[in-house]
Amino acid sequence: MERGQALTEEEGAWTTFGPSALAFKESWHTPVEMTEADMDRVVAAFADAARRADRAGFDLVEVHAAHGYLLCEFLSPLSNQRTDQYGGSAENRARFPLRVAKAVRDAWPRTKALGVRFNGSDWVEGGVALEEVVAFGAAMHDLGYDYLHLTSGGNVARADIPGAEPGYQLRFAEAVKVAVPQAVVMAVGMIFDPHQAEQIVASGQADLIAIARAALDDPNWAHHAAVALGQAENLPVQYERAGKTTWPGYGRTV
């Protein structure tokens, strides 16, 4: 993608694949509807990628099944309009993502963390339903995934996402946590206040908090959050001279 638009064939755009031959939006190229052979190839590629990540020394892998990526497209009735065993019902739409998930689970060591990120909503009428989201989360937990990471959006261009207030996606994580209490559930979505993050975990709405833009804005967010909550910073030795008790500019903004 360049300038907010898809590359043209003349610009060297790759051939893309999807559950159905539906363009993301007008003027974008239309993906090729995947065949069984395409799906087999992708399942094998996911498993190979997990094994390479293990050999490279990574300690955690998160399968991305959200934000309009391939597995997300299969899960949503807006982007998956197949009439075979991989389309139609929620069970059918989840069939291919669960095949991929099992292949990754089998390839990734049980001694290392494995999670999945998936959408709680498409923010469009007729999109993925919350009960389907919960069922998919339960299935991933049953497969042996260590945590479930709930997010939303990015699957269709016409999504009407409400005002992104801190914790606006929390309802999805909470719904999965209530339905699958034994699962470890992660919440994300404009959460930057350490007190709000602590309250979410303390109340049991979620077990983990993902920090995104807060960390981009403040790479030391975790240390500053610890101080805000009355805990020790636990700074690396190299950073101790910039701590709250030793640096007069601590916490100041330009």
pLDDT value at residue 29: 85
With a CB cutoff of 8 Å and minimum separation 6, the contacts of 206 are: 150, 170, 173, 174, 177, 185, 186, 187, 200
pLDDT value at residue 253: 64
Q: What is the pTM of this model?
A: 0.92
Task: Determine how many CB atoms are found less than 10 A away from the CB of residue 12.
Answer: 7
pLDDT value at residue 5: 76
Positions marked active-site: 69
pLDDT value at residue 187: 97
Domains and CATH numbers, the chain: 59-217 (3.20.20.70)
pLDDT value at residue 251: 76
For the chain, residues with pLDDT lower than 50 are: 1
List the structure tokens of 69: 């990526």
List the structure tokens of 36: 């069984």
Phi (first) and psi of residue 72, to 5 degrees: -65, -40
Q: What is the pLDDT of residues 119-159, one digit of tens each?
A: 999 999 999 999 999 999 999 999 999 999 999 999 998 88
Pairwise CA distance, residues 59 & 93, whole Å: 30
Task: Determine how many CB atoms are found less than 10 A away from the CB of residue 205.
Answer: 18
**DSSP annotation of 14:** P
Pairwise CA distance, residues 181 & 183, whole Å: 5
List the structure tokens of 26: 């007008």
pLDDT value at residue 1: 47
List the structure tokens of 232: 């020790």
